[in-house]
Amino acid sequence: MPAAAIALVGALVYGSADFLGGLAAKRLRSIVATAVAAASGLVLLVALYPLLGGVWNGRDAAWGVLSGVFGAIAIALLYACLAIGPMSILSPLTAVVSAIAPMLWGLLVDGEQLSGLGYAGLGVALVAVVLVGFIPGQKAVRPSARGLLMAVGAGLAIGAFMIAIDQTSSASGIVPLVLNRATSATITTLIVLVLLLAGRRRGQRMHQVLAAQGIELGATPTGHADLEHAAGRAVAAPPVPVPAGAWWSAVACGVVDASANAFMLVALRLGDLSVVSALTAMYPAGTIILAALVLRERVAAVQWLGLILALAAGILLALA
């Protein structure tokens, strides 16, 4: 099934976007990095529209805007739950819920049918999602009910984003993605403006408001997060402006994330929501691979197992 292969590639691209978002969020406030990424992704999609095209109609436009709202909700809940912690439990929980919600929608609501091999692939995929999303080295602490609810909410919002995009017609082309990104950019930019106004009233300079502070978290406009590099430690605003490299990392994050959305859209148009959602949820694999190649970080044994199972799930779902 070509959709499975495209979805798996899309997951790796999502992971690359998360990696870049994590680099940006080391110097930029997370919501600022997300706003910049949303804007740069929008610019890319608008530039591609004359080439890829798409028919504008009210129904598809509404689904596109709604998907952007779900993405913004996912970001808010994701930041909150990961700040509460423990990330080693809440991050895989978010990823699993983000896979299960659209998977159940596809099977129960849309009436998708899979073979026995396909269901086996979904099962392997869910195990892989947990393992690749696991953050080694974190202390095992029982999560609070509030943290669990926020993690489930973030996963449901990410799943709702995929369900909304899946409701659009093939004739709409990339129109839903354009409106999704425009909505995300508008919401996150307004939040940044509010933060700037609040900072001005407190006598803070612009770079003090925009710079990383609080908990280090990176995220992409659709609500995925750089779980592998979420440090979970407090960061004070630096006395100097944010370096240009952080801004460019945020811009690159948006471009790569928009590209990942395009892969996801193509996969959804060619295949089943249940399959695409299960494979897309393996996005931490891309972050892990890049961290190993670029930052020379060690990949834990449990994550290697997750990567192997992710590949196995992709093969099973492709053959189903």
Per-residue pLDDT of the chain (320 residues; tens, 9 = 90+): 688 889 889 988 988 888 888 788 778 888 888 899 999 999 999 999 998 888 999 999 999 999 999 988 888 887 777 667 676 677 778 888 888 899 889 888 888 888 888 888 888 888 888 887 766 665 556 777 888 888 889 889 999 999 999 999 999 999 999 999 999 999 999 999 998 898 888 877 777 777 766 655 666 777 776 655 554 555 555 556 778 888 998 999 999 999 999 999 999 999 899 888 888 888 877 777 877 787 777 777 887 888 888 888 878 877 76
The total number of residues shown for the chain amounts to 320
Q: For the chain, what is the total number of helices (H) and then of strands (E)?
A: 12, 2
Q: Which of 64, 2, 91 is nearest to 318 (CA)?
A: 2
pTM of the prediction?
0.85
Q: Which two tokens stand for residue 106?
A: 């596809």
Q: Which two tokens stand for residue 30?
A: 């997370």
Integer angstrom CA distances of residue 140 from 88, 170, 241, 274: 8, 45, 37, 31
296 Ramachandran zone, left/alpha/beta (phi>0; psi -120 to 50): left
**Which are the contacts of 80, defined by CB distance < 8 A and separation ≥ 6?**
150
238 Ramachandran zone, left/alpha/beta (phi>0; psi -120 to 50): beta
Cα 148 to the center of its chain, rounded Å: 18
